[in-house]
Homo-oligomer: A and B are copies of this chain.
Amino acid sequence: MIDAALLDEYIERFSNWGRWGDDDQVGTANLITADKVAGAARRVRRGQVVPLGLTLGDGGPQTGANGRFNCMCYAIASGTDHELGRQQFGGKPLPFQMGYADDTVVMHLQSSTHWDSLCHIFHRGRMYNGYPASESTASGSARNGVQHLTGRLVGRGVLLDVPSSKDLDWLEDGYAITVDDLEAAAEFGRVRVASGDIVLLRTGQLARCRVQGWGTYAGGDAPGLSFLTVPWLHEHGIAAVASDTWGVEVRPNQIEGAFQPFHLPALVYMGLSLGEMFDLEALAAACAEDGVYEMLVSASPLPFVGTAGGPPGPVAIR
């Protein structure tokens, strides 16, 4: 276990509160400069587009625990209704033998592929950049809502495929990914991690679930970042980390009695965007095939106003 004193130390050493102004609601995503975007785009070679999101529907990982559930899709008009002549729109039958389908979804925003926004986690009554936690109410947050990340999180991505770099199919639950692991994975992919990068961190847990079933994927034990990687992430100017687990960091947690302690220095103090439940399997296969582990990532979240997270329609373009 790691001493809880390190939590306070990291918070003090790595806080970005005020770094991009007192009004900033974006955090480390500010490190993605136009130059970085243009550079990433220029290095696209094959024109291959790889989606990075889990499908949204019945087959997701959620069990209902903690109020999180798989996306529910409700058709409010259907082809069967059309085929049987039972359909109206605006109170009238549709002309010219036309029909339509429409849907409503009920979706918990932290339940599938998503970015945490910077109002997702609080510490001692504050959220990122020092705003009072009470800016976040039952009707949403007036600060750090996910809409402030819209148009961001597009830039150079590097896939750090940790299990492949160790010649494993996946990392086991509870495996804490170290700085050495990160650097070995970068070397494996022949990429240099640079300021403003979006790190796509593959643990392979999703690969394992595809073989063994979801189990406790949502909210349970997982491989993930060690708490001790915080300095490395800060020093390298990482803009965002998106992983294939529910919470990016290793579980069980490394500090006695804590719950997701990495989130405190990373999300609350650094303002580091954390992407969770990204599907990196197809991407890992594509990178393995041609040996290119950098790409243009486009993962701007949907601009829900004031929410604590939100899904992008994420793709890697390579």
Contacts and interface: CB of A to CB of B under 8 A. Distances in A.
Interface of A: 4, 7, 33-39, 41-42, 44-51, 53-59, 63-84, 86-87, 89-90, 94-110, 119-125, 127, 132-141, 147, 150-152, 154, 219, 257-261, 263-264, 296, 298-309, 311-315, 317
Contact of A104 (B94, B96, B109, B151): B109
Given A38-B47, A49-B37, A151-B315, A305 B94 contact: no
A154 B154 CA distance: 13
15 contacts: A37-B317, A49-B151, A56-B305, A59-B305, A71-B304, A75-B138, A75-B308, A76-B138, A79-B122, A97-B123, A99-B133, A101-B308, A102-B120, A103-B309, A299-B313
B57 A304 contact: yes
B296 A313 contact: no
Contacts of A39: 47
Given A67-B104, A107-B107, 8 more contacts: A34-B48, A67-B76, A76-B138, A84-B134, A98-B260, A102-B309, A103-B304, A300-B313
Nearest to A59: B305
A189 to B, nearest CB: 20
Kindly name the residue among A120, A132, A296, A302 whose own CB sees the greatest number of chain B CB atoms within 10 A: A302
